[in-house]
Amino acid sequence: MFVTFRLHGSLPVSRVFPNARLTAGQAFVAMDRLLDHPKSGPLFLRQPEIAEIVIASLYDGERRFHRYELHAFVVMPNHVHLLVTPNVPSKEWLGPLKGFTGHEAIRIPNLRTRPFWQDESYDHLIRNDEEWLRVKRYIEWNPVKAGLAALPEEFAFSSATPGGSPAAGRKA
């Protein structure tokens, strides 16, 4: 399953994605382009301490709570992409993940924002191995496309980082 969730207020209020003209995939691509090159909105996830909270929680969801198998992720400045194989329905892991990370993030000094995450998220079931590889590549190359790194492994908050990210070894 491919999942994307974003910070509250990260898309312009005036955004329009005409449903009649766009497929769900096309609407996602349009949204993701806006998120990758933000002109306004919160960018809290670029703060290492907040990105690390999200990453540690992603690994906890896999290793400690066994809610999913985590295949790929990237924590961008205003959104998160995941490739997971869920072991439980997404409402049983995505809500708690967003709730916990949002609660922990707003405890950081000078970060007083509510709500932290946008209520809705995007998810897409992966249909075959080819699509799985394409989505994994999309996730790990997202920071490169956004101009945040020259290569996927250079972006600190990604599964493409050698060792899985700075937070990978902290929680087992």
Q: What stretches in the chain show pLDDT beneath 50?
A: 169-172
Which pTM was predicted? 0.87
pLDDT at position 172 is 33
User: 3-state DSSP call for residue 54?
Assistant: helix
Helix (H) or strand (E) holding 75: strand 68-75
Q: What CATH number did the domain enclosing 26 receive?
A: 3.30.70.1290
User: 3-state DSSP call for residue 126?
Assistant: coil
pLDDT digits over 13-30, tens only?
A: 666 555 667 777 777 777
Note whether residue 170 is domain-resident: no
Q: Which domain holds residue 34?
A: 2-164
Note whether residue 171 is domain-resident: no
Note whether residue 154 is domain-resident: yes
Note whether residue 169 is domain-resident: no
pLDDT at position 61 is 97
Alpha-carbon distances, residue 35 vs 2, 59, 131, 136, 167 (angstroms) = 17, 24, 22, 18, 24
Instruction: List beta partners, residue 55.
Output: none
Helix (H) or strand (E) holding 2: strand 2-6
Instruction: List beta partners, residue 84.
Output: 70
Question: Rounded distance, CA 23 to CA 28, Å?
Answer: 9
Question: Rounded distance, CA 114 to CA 94, Å?
Answer: 18
pLDDT at position 20 is 63
Note whether residue 156 is domain-resident: yes
Contact 32, 4 (CB under 8 A): yes
Instruction: Report how many domains make up the chain.
Output: 1
Note whether residue 85 is domain-resident: yes
